[in-house]
Amino acid sequence: MESLFPIIRKYDFPKSVTEALRIVHIQCEKMSKNSLSISQELNQITEFVDDYVFGHPRSLKSKKVGSIQQMQIIQALIDYFSSDTDFSLLCSVFMVVFLAKGRQVDFKISTLSKLLSLNLGQGHKTLLNCAALWWTQQPPNSEHSTTLTHSIVQDYILLLPDTRAALSHIPTLSPLLAGILLTYFSELYAVPADSSIAFTPPPTNLVNLAASWLRENMDLCGANGQAENQGVVTMLGRSPVSGLLTWTILSPLFAEAEGLSYSKLHFTLLQHITEENLEFSIPGGYLSNLTESLLSTLNLRAFPETSINKSLDRFGQMLQASRAAKCRIEEDLVLLINQLPDNRLISIIINNIS
């Protein structure tokens, strides 16, 4: 690829970015036909991408790309991914361009965040699906995925006046991305590992968005069993359902305005717990971990009795839905649940476990 460097330097920015993407495209096409050379080629392409997609062609060492230039890079990416090229090849180029390696990783993730935020509103299907597949290749609890999720939430979603209306098209255009976003949203607002730290409830915008997407797309997380969109869950190996249930069960204790938003989301989540997708919606160990989190939370401080009862009622509803989906309730879990404050619904469920 080094022979191509002088050619790229002939172009002014941002034309150089467009030409660099064309070259990455050619290299990805070659790699698809010769898998033996992928490792060596990929290292060279990563360096090339750092210099010529995310850098200036004539002053690579001394001049950083500013915010205006970053938007020009984003526009070049949008133009490229608007082409009629084979989707699998477009995905390959996307993966290479945003590979979390090299000297420009932070800038790549920043650019990807802005690119995805822009296209969540515009609804460019190819870009949304490429981003979804990129996400499936990241390790669990990846720092880059967390950073990307946080940026999308803070810099875009929370600024929308009507999140549900603005993003209602996402599950239709890219059900995979919708499922992935919900999963990472739930992890962004998860129960802290340190039991002395209080749970921080998510913004109402996210609660409304999750409820809307799941209520209007019952296949999104496999609620209807064998739908094709079950792949949204299986590609990540986890589902947003369990994390979102944590939101609705703990929210009465922490949310300042615990209104209909959480109730709607909770009711929808219960419908998504089915025998077919139990492995993902209520994964092994989840009920025990949630019960322990609820116990430690109730020990943090004194909560209003009405809030405690609402939280326990939702826990009981989730427990009953899990049992209806053939979830096994082991004796150790029963002993743990019995440490919770008295609740009529939970008592009825536990008493009926043989």
pLDDT tens by residue, 129-188 = 999 999 989 887 889 999 999 999 999 999 998 898 999 999 999 998 999 999 999 999
Mean pLDDT of 317-341: 95
Cβ proximity of 272 and 230 under 8 Å? no
Listed residue (72, 65, 70, 185) closest to 120, CA to CA: 185
% of residues, the chain, pLDDT over 90? 59
Residue 123 zone, left/alpha/beta (φ > 0; ψ -120 to 50; rest): left
Position 289 scores a pLDDT of: 94
Least confident among 42-46, 106-110, 248-252 = 42-46
Distance CA(109)–CA(47), nearest Å, equals 16
Q: How confident is the model at residue 57 (pLDDT cuts 50, 70, 90)?
A: low
Distance CA(61)–CA(58), nearest Å, equals 9
Listed residue (212, 144, 223, 213) closest to 173, CA to CA: 213
Cβ proximity of 223 and 277 under 8 Å? yes
Residue 162 zone, left/alpha/beta (φ > 0; ψ -120 to 50; rest): beta
pTM for the model stands at 0.90
